[in-house]
Chains A and B, each alone.
Chain A
Amino acid sequence: MSSGKIVELRQVLAERFPREIPPPASLLTTGIECLDRSLEGGMRRGTITQLVAPYPSCGSASLLHDLIDSMHTSASQFVALIDGKNSFEPLGNTDLLLWIRCENANQAVRATDLIIRDGNIILSILDLKQNEVQELRKVPLTAWYRLQRVAADSGTTLLLITSHYISGSCFAAVQINNPLRINDLAELSYTVSQTRLLDFIYRKNYAELGYAQA
């Protein structure tokens, strides 16, 4: 089936089964300027946002730390980090961070399902950056769609970090496009973050998401 027909089919389904338009206040502002700008205000609550980090060293872990710090200091929000390869290195104040150390992607997806189904934590981060591509391909597509549905029901926001674009169930996707150099190790982390380049990849429109047009 061609992509044009798929879009057409989605539009027909959206007209036949309309859903309410989410209120404008349904954005979770991250406090990270480049990320909020790329996502036009922040991550949409109750959806999956994907961050693609294609290079081994491109600043995704730094962005993860910035995000945790920002949620902590600005909003005192709990954050759950589901670490798909047990690679997170805690820094600074992590009092409001729930870290789940998984061994593989399958375990991480199941843990994410539990966390977002719980509904107590507003932002969950599923970090699969270090997981092998072959391992991620073994995760059935239905698992991503289930996560999407559960996140929508519980209102939890899920940030998915991967090395390549994998999920068609995410609401928006952005990509980090500047590889780091060894000279960056001597710079302040803030300076490195300022030079971070985030490129917009994809965003669903309301019709594709199943929302009725206003």
Chain B
Amino acid sequence: MPKPSLFAVIYTPYYRLQCAQQKRLRTESNQQADLPFADRQTELSDQYSQSYSSNSNSITHQTIPPVTVYIREDIASALLEDSQIIEINPTAEAAGVKIGITPSLAVARAPELQLYAPEVELERQQQQALLQLCYRYSPFIESTGPGVCTLDLRGRRNKNQEIWARDLLSRWRSLGFAANVGIGPNAELAAQAAKFANPYLEVVENSQLLRSLPLESLQPSAYLLEILHNWGIRTLGALIQLPREDIGQRLGLEGLSLWDRAAGRSAKVLHHLQPPEIFKETIDLEQRLETLEPLLFILRRSLEHLVLRVESVYRLVAEIKLQLHLDSGDKLERSLPIPAPTQDITILFRVLSQYLETVQTAAPVVGFTLEVFASDPAKHQFDLFYSRLKDPNRFFQTLARLAALVGNNRAGIPERLASYKPDNIRLRLPAFDWKSNSSISAESDQPRIGPALRRYRPPIPATVELADGKPICIHSNLIKGHIDKQRGPWRTSGNWWDPDGWEIQEWDIQVTDRGIYRLTFSAGNWAISGVYD
């Protein structure tokens, strides 16, 4: 016997207005506006702590703090487009503001009314975030409308839908949105339940709730609505009291469809989609920023949002890409790889802020695009006897600081180039899983001869006196005097076929009470290239 179908709809009321409010709140630098919701924030924080601690996923052990931006629902707000009010919040509605009226009339009715302009790009990005969030709970989802997502719950074993629904709501809330979740045996019922939920409602077929809903809740055509009103039909319950065949004869297919939907028999087919794993936010700032602090403040909020989204798909942040939009029209772009992918907002923000501290722009910043790239957790077979870096991210930040202090390519693992030329070395950065490529290299198989050399970089010029072709006396800024003993010469050369060719004659000399040095003769000049120590 097939299991009964079950659908859920998450419905974000006045979604476009909430997006516009989000945008303004995020670019504000004053967090005190959030104070009335501090209690709710603490509550959410507790919920998150519990949910993370109960999560058996080994990806993370840190609690991501919820984003601190919450919309003030106690202030009348309205969305304005083409000189008309197109969306209002309940406070504005209670103050007498209606959809479709002019802004001047709206302000006359509610003087404290805050007007917002639509943020189309942010609406698109947040819709993407909603879909990614819902995909966490069901692989069969539909982007039903702005701020609305339908989930097909087939295959879910848990009979108590409220637990995960409230988890979904709290995650969506942590991204800054207030929403409702409705559960029903079909998508239509679930959608109707979501509109009337507070914030969760589960309905069954032919429920009293559905019967009491007005006809307008199914959004029939104005023509059909007028006919039904003339018949005295005002609720869905009244409509389904009429025989279905008679409705079909008189009102046609549209009437039949409306009757089926009112009776909860809608067989709507969902347009399933798989949201792409793109975690990106573009913010156009209302003011030009010339200092780092306010930019970091806004960036942190965006980063927190993106990390929450990445976390919702059980992934880790492996790279941050930041594009600064300058007032001059130029764009400054930089990718910041994370050596050890993580969800730790502190580490990620440290990487971002450390980079920005070194940036100087030619013009003020007017916006930015922040994108994070998700990856799976790194898989490592830990070695019993091999000590790994304790904190790779911190180590690579230290390497970046060292590079800033001593210069690029002056800190790393030494590597000999494929040449016999003396002092032909380059430095490479260690990989994340920094370890020896070979336990014992071929070179280290051979025993070392004599003491090691300390090089003078660059070599110290010297004047050398010769007798029978051997150096017997040396004058330089480092050493002066008679050479007691000498060994050599050892001649090396290479690359004779190109201008970078080299030919060197080397001598080892012992100067009275001054140590043992390596003397080189190249291109007609003597120099002290090192000291044996």
Interface residues of A, Cβ cutoff 8 Å to B: 53, 55-62, 64-65, 69, 72-73, 75-78, 86-103, 107, 110-111, 114-115, 117-120, 122, 129-130, 179-182, 184-190, 192
Contact = CB atoms under 8 A, between A and B. Distances in A.
Contacts of A181: 510, 516
Given A76-B387, A120-B394, A185-B450, 17 more contacts: A56-B516, A56-B533, A57-B515, A60-B533, A61-B454, A87-B456, A92-B443, A92-B444, A92-B448, A93-B438, A118-B398, A120-B389, A129-B454, A181-B510, A182-B484, A184-B516, A185-B449
Given A57-B531, A98-B411, A99-B411, A182 B485 contact: yes
B434 interface: yes
Interface in B450-472: 450-457
A61 B430 CA distance: 24
A115 B451 CA distance: 28
30 contacts: A61-B453, A62-B452, A76-B385, A76-B436, A86-B457, A87-B457, A91-B452, A92-B444, A93-B438, A95-B437, A95-B438, A96-B435, A98-B413, A101-B427, A103-B406, A114-B401, A119-B394, A130-B454, A180-B451, A181-B516, A182-B485, A182-B509, A184-B451, A184-B532, A185-B450, A185-B451, A185-B532, A189-B447, A189-B451, A190-B448
B56 to A, nearest CB: 29
4 smallest A-B Cβ distances: which pairs? A56-B515, A57-B515, A189-B448, A92-B444
Interface in B468-515: 484-487, 508-510, 514-515
Contact of A180 (B386, B441, B530, B532): B532
A123 to B, nearest CB: 11
- Residue from A55, A60, A95, A186 whose CB has the most chain B CB atoms within 10 Å: A95
B487 A96 contact: no
Contacts of B385: 76
Contacts of A56: 514-516, 531, 533
Contact of B487 (A76, A93, A182, A187): A182
B220 interface: no
Nearest to B457: A86
A117 to B, nearest CB: 8
B533 A61 contact: yes
Interface of B: 383, 385-387, 389-392, 394-395, 398, 401-402, 405-406, 410-416, 423, 425, 427, 430, 434-441, 443-444, 447-457, 484-487, 508-510, 514-516, 530-533
Given A57-B515, A77-B387, A95-B436, A189 B449 contact: yes
A100 B391 contact: no
A92 B389 CA distance: 22
B406 A180 contact: no
A166 B138 CA distance: 68
Contacts of A187: 449-450
B390 A120 contact: yes
Contacts of A69: 444
Nearest to A55: B515
Nearest to A72: B436
A120 B453 contact: no
A120 B395 contact: yes
B55 to A, nearest CB: 28
A58 B533 contact: yes
Given A61-B533, A129-B533, A190 B444 contact: no
A188 B530 CA distance: 19
Contacts of B406: 100-103, 107, 111
Nearest to A86: B457
B63 to A, nearest CB: 23
Instruction: Give the residue among B391, B415, B441, B457 with the most A Cβ atoms within 10 A.
Output: B457
Contacts of A62: 451-452, 533
Contact of A65 (B386, B401, B438, B452): B452
Contact of A184 (B383, B387, B447, B450): B450
B441 A119 contact: no
Contact of A114 (B405, B434, B447): B405
Contacts of B451: 57, 59, 61-62, 180, 184-185, 189, 192
Contacts of A89: 423, 452-455, 530
A59 B486 CA distance: 19
B438 A114 contact: no
Contacts of A91: 443, 448, 452
A180 B414 contact: no
A110 B411 CA distance: 14
Given A61-B533, A90-B425, A98 B430 contact: yes
Contact of B391 (A92, A94, A101, A120): A120
Nearest to A57: B515
Nearest to B429: A98
